[in-house]
């Protein structure tokens, strides 16, 4: 299980929220448009409709992994794939469990897997790709 509740997830990962700009959410859309780290991300809104207000925001960006490989250190990269996925290269800043790590790849990302991850430590570099959709959790300002 990757999360027990939205409130618990926000409580655990608020320090790992990305800072950026949140744009108005079209009526009835489940996606948040969030710009951070020079990238425009479309995130499945996990904190409820009408909770997130346009403007400066701190959002926990959570992705489930399709691929992950250890790499040599390099320059952080992040590329948007499709409507709501990313691939990139980043540094592990926190190992949360055998299933979840926080990676800095132009912005902080909480990355989780349904199968155990390889042995990882802060400072390791990873290349990764997420499965769509990315999830967005509003963290308190």
Residue-wise pLDDT for 83-94, tens only, equals 899 999 999 999
Could you tell me if residue 134 is inside a domain? yes
Residue-wise pLDDT for 32-51, tens only, equals 999 999 999 999 999 877 77
Strand ranges, E, within 24-124: 31-36, 39-45, 55-71, 77-81, 85-95, 100-104, 108-112
Q: What pLDDT score does 51 carry? A: 79
At 1, is the pLDDT very low, low, confident or very high (cuts 50, 70, 90)? low
Torsion of Cα atoms, 121 then 110 then 85 then 119, to 10°: 20
More confident residue, 3 or 99: 99
Per the structure, the complete domain to which residue 59 belongs is given by: 6-138
Torsion of Cα atoms, 41 then 13 then 93 then 124, to 10°: -80
Over pLDDT 90: what percentage of the chain? Answer: 84
Q: What pLDDT score does 141 carry? A: 47
Over pLDDT 70: what percentage of the chain? Answer: 98
Residue-wise pLDDT for 2-11, tens only, equals 778 899 999 9
Residue 21 predicted with pLDDT over 80: yes
Could you tell me if residue 1 is inside a domain? no
Measured CA to CA, the distance from residue 22 to residue 29 in angstroms comes to 14
Measured CA to CA, the distance from residue 2 to residue 17 in angstroms comes to 17
Number of domain units in the chain: 1
Torsion of Cα atoms, 60 then 100 then 79 then 132, to 10°: -80
Could you tell me if residue 117 is inside a domain? yes
The whole-chain average pLDDT of the chain stands at: 93
At 27, is the pLDDT very low, low, confident or very high (cuts 50, 70, 90)? confident
């Amino acid at each position: 299980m990757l999360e027990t509740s939205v409130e618990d997830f926000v409580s655990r990962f608020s320090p790992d929220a990305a800072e950026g700009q949140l744009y108005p959410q079209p009526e009835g859309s489940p996606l948040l448009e969030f710009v951070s780290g020079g990238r425009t991300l479309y995130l499945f809104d996990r904190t409820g409709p009408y909770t997130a207000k346009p403007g400066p925001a701190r959002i926990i960006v959570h992705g489930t992994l399709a691929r992950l490989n250890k790499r040599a250190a390099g320059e952080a990269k992040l590329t948007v794939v499709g409507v709501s996925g990313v691939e990139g290269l980043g540094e592990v800043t926190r190992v949360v469990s055998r299933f979840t790590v926080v990676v800095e790849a132009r912005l902080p990302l909480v990355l989780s897997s349904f199968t155990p991850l390889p042995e990882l430590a802060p400072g390791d570099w990873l290349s990764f790709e997420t499965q769509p959709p990315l999830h967005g959790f509003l963290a308190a300002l």
